[in-house]
A = this chain, B = another copy of it.
């Protein structure tokens, strides 16, 4: 049997998301439960995949199925594509498995040609409407299918307005529109060397191809990469009967959310425009009316709509984001989907829905995108400072957060300037081309567009601060300044945006830390009840440790000791140690470092109490502590009282061809045991001191980096015990300590059974493990990783999202082998992947005991761990 590539809306349902895309599946589901949806059909994602496999052509069997579905649609509607009695017009819209707002292409009014236009005029009696629709089709078709920029057509419109002496499109009359259609067609003919296609079937097939093609356009590729959407998924295409919101004052169109997507408030929230097409609302060209004003214009439709929104929210058990159109007083639902929301809103909605009995705690936890928490966990404006400051202007609080930065005007400018300091992107309105720039800006400010404008939707998705539709903003891009409430701000001058209030301030407002109470606390409490994976933090200082505790860390999974040596008062002793010619000299230098290092650890233990603290011994190559340039070497040589040539000789002798794979990690204390002895002494003496001081029993975890063989961990364990046991015996305390290792070399992973004989714990160092497993130097991979992503050799940067398929196999092997040898082996991960939700799901499934991440990502990890447990109970 041949594959089915098209489904009528009446054939599908919400579970067919993979095949029909999110939009298609929801249109089918709304149809199924009896809501008013225009008739239509969906071309599957498999057809898209096939399109790419067939070298970007639509196979004859797929074309046949599309045409067959078209015939069925004509039967269902009683209209005919290209027909002169009752012509069928279509919208053709993309729809991937997950929503990618504005990333792909849409064509409306498809099916219009010269004859159909005349028929439509006969039917509607509205010549201006018909020619307006026709010129829009030519314009969209040119842009999307033929890659003729829209702007060329806009010029023709501007010329026409000039001829007629008018300013607004709406002032052009039916005749003007008719003339424009002719001018557009002529322009098309000149540009493409052929006529605008009059055959509606041809229009349809070309439009379908264009939507498939748009899956691979640059901005879609960027969006996918940012949101970890696999390229292999493809997009579906939804072909739907047109309904018109621009057929006069009894028609309209709008978008709405069942709850407020910025705050989470349980109140229908949305905007509409009468006598308009949907794109007019989303594009933010006209500022729309709030949804409740619809009640006054058409109470029946309003009530029907409210009822539908309630039905949908209950049905999907989640806040819905919907598009609708009213055609001559009749309501049509064009789309529904789970709405994007701010982190704050996500928490409130999740808690409210549990309280309303609408879903369970587990279901509520799954509704929150862990990465979104990031916005909550970062500073807000200091309320005291805000009290003393008057906003210079205000707009819509489109996406919360606090942002200060210098004013820039374009996405390219953001990319260029953001390296030198924070920037705020200020634009009349944003468009999909701006997406990369938006991601790098501290905040986004627009003059036009509502809460559902492109800027607002995208900023919320990114967790970026955004104030939209600020009427008091005038952008003088070419002259390099803006005015805000009449005050001039030049390019590069600082402004501050409060995305939670919509207020805009001149200059820089100080910020304060995030609070972790309220709905946030409730959700985190649920997450902690549910999850089986523990969450620790990577913290090198008492301050980091305090932040980590505040965010709910259960211990410290990684204290790097090397950072401590870079402080000005220490690096000198460190350098003395490095240039030492024998163990005695080295010991003398290390003796200077010992009390400082001991004090570091005391500070951390004082914060953490009896919670586990894992301290990693010195890891980086020694040359990192020495200067590189002759001038600096000369200066240091003088400071150290050494001949230049001798110090230069040391610097040269420590140079490495591949420092990542050189003399570092446990290789250092194996060559220079004095280093390991000093560090062990500092760790254990600090534990003794703080245990005595606080009357507690601290159990330090000493972590040996870069172990690849059993002999290394055995050597280090012996070295550590030989120092630690004496100190403990002298202290009179019954202090315990653990010795473990990083698993960051492939050899360590595959011989984990042997290594586990001498290790109390493993901590996967997934940064280095990824480097060694791929043979990717993190410092050099930028040369080829972008091409690898472009050419789809990789789905994502393996340093951002853990490579479960490859490197993950080594982790699984190490877990299995390690536990076979030592059933009590404690297993964690302390690479940067420890704060990445996708990676956390893998670590949960791999059976680790804990993840350790940066303090600010601890709540994200707690939530991600809970979600992993709900999805994959263990």
Contact = CB atoms under 8 A, between A and B. Distances in A.
A670 interface: yes
A713 to B, nearest CB: 10
Contacts of A774: 661, 708, 745, 747
Nearest to A672: B787
A706 B671 CA distance: 32
A807 interface: yes
A296 interface: no
Contacts of A712: 793
Contacts of A656: 777, 779-780, 783
Interface string A320-334: 000000000000000
A166 B659 CA distance: 65
Nearest to A768: B775
A715 interface: yes
A245 interface: no
Interface string A804-835: 01110110010000000000000000000000
A751 B661 contact: no
A332 to B, nearest CB: 43
Contacts of A805: 751, 754
Interface string A779-796: 111011001100111100
Given A805-B751, A806-B751, A715 B775 contact: no
A663 interface: yes
A201 interface: no
A830 B388 CA distance: 74
Contacts of A583: none
A371 interface: no
Interface in A652-684: 656-663, 665, 667, 670-671
A775 B709 contact: no
A715 B659 contact: no
Nearest to A769: B746
Select the residue from A670, A747, A807, A809 with max chain B CB neighbours within 10 A.
Answer: A747
Contacts of A745: 773-775
Contacts of A671: 783-784, 787
Contact of A661 (B709, B711, B777): B777
Contacts of A780: 656-659, 661-663
A794 B710 CA distance: 10
Nearest to A795: B711
A777 B665 CA distance: 14
A750 interface: yes
A775 B670 contact: no
Contacts of A670: 784, 787-788, 791, 793
Given A670-B784, A712-B793, A784-B670, A775 B661 contact: yes
B775 A708 contact: yes
A771 interface: yes
A370 B773 CA distance: 34
Contacts of A810: 746, 750
A772 interface: yes
Interface string A371-386: 0000000000000000
A633 to B, nearest CB: 19
A625 interface: no
A223 interface: no
A794 to B, nearest CB: 7
Interface in A72-100: none
A233 interface: no
Nearest to A805: B751
B709 A779 contact: no
Given A708-B774, A715-B793, A791-B715, A750 B657 contact: no
Contacts of A809: 750-751
Most buried by B among A712, A780, A805, A809: A780
Given A779-B657, A784-B671, A747 B663 contact: no
A792 B747 contact: no
A305 interface: no
A302 interface: no
A626 to B, nearest CB: 15
Interface in A706-755: 706, 708-709, 711-712, 715, 744-747, 750-751, 754
A775 B774 CA distance: 12
Contact of A658 (B711, B777, B792, B807): B777
A663 B781 CA distance: 7
A209 to B, nearest CB: 23
A660 B662 CA distance: 12
Contacts of A526: none
Contact of A807 (B665, B667, B747): B747
Contacts of A660: 657-658, 661, 775, 777
A784 B657 contact: no
A776 interface: yes
A662 B783 CA distance: 8
B657 A657 contact: no
Contacts of A663: 780, 783-784
A667 B794 CA distance: 12
B747 A779 contact: no
A810 B746 CA distance: 9
Nearest to A751: B806
B662 A711 contact: no
A708 B806 contact: yes
Nearest to A656: B780
A592 to B, nearest CB: 25
Given A745-B773, A745-B774, A768-B775, A659 B658 contact: yes
A813 B812 CA distance: 14
A657, A660, A746, A776: residue with the most chain B Cβ atoms closer than 10 Å: A746
Interface centre among A667, A708, A712, A775 (most CB of B within 10 A): A775
A567 to B, nearest CB: 25
Nearest to A711: B793
Contact of A806 (B659, B709, B793): B709
B746 A773 contact: yes
Q: Top 4 nearest A-B pairs by Cβ distance?
A: A658-B777, A661-B777, A746-B746, A657-B779
28 contacts: A656-B779, A656-B780, A657-B660, A657-B780, A658-B658, A658-B660, A658-B777, A660-B777, A661-B661, A661-B771, A661-B776, A661-B777, A661-B780, A663-B783, A665-B775, A670-B788, A671-B784, A706-B775, A711-B793, A745-B774, A746-B772, A747-B773, A747-B775, A747-B807, A750-B813, A768-B775, A772-B772, A772-B773
Given A709-B806, A754-B805, 7 more contacts: A657-B777, A658-B661, A671-B784, A746-B773, A747-B803, A772-B773, A772-B775
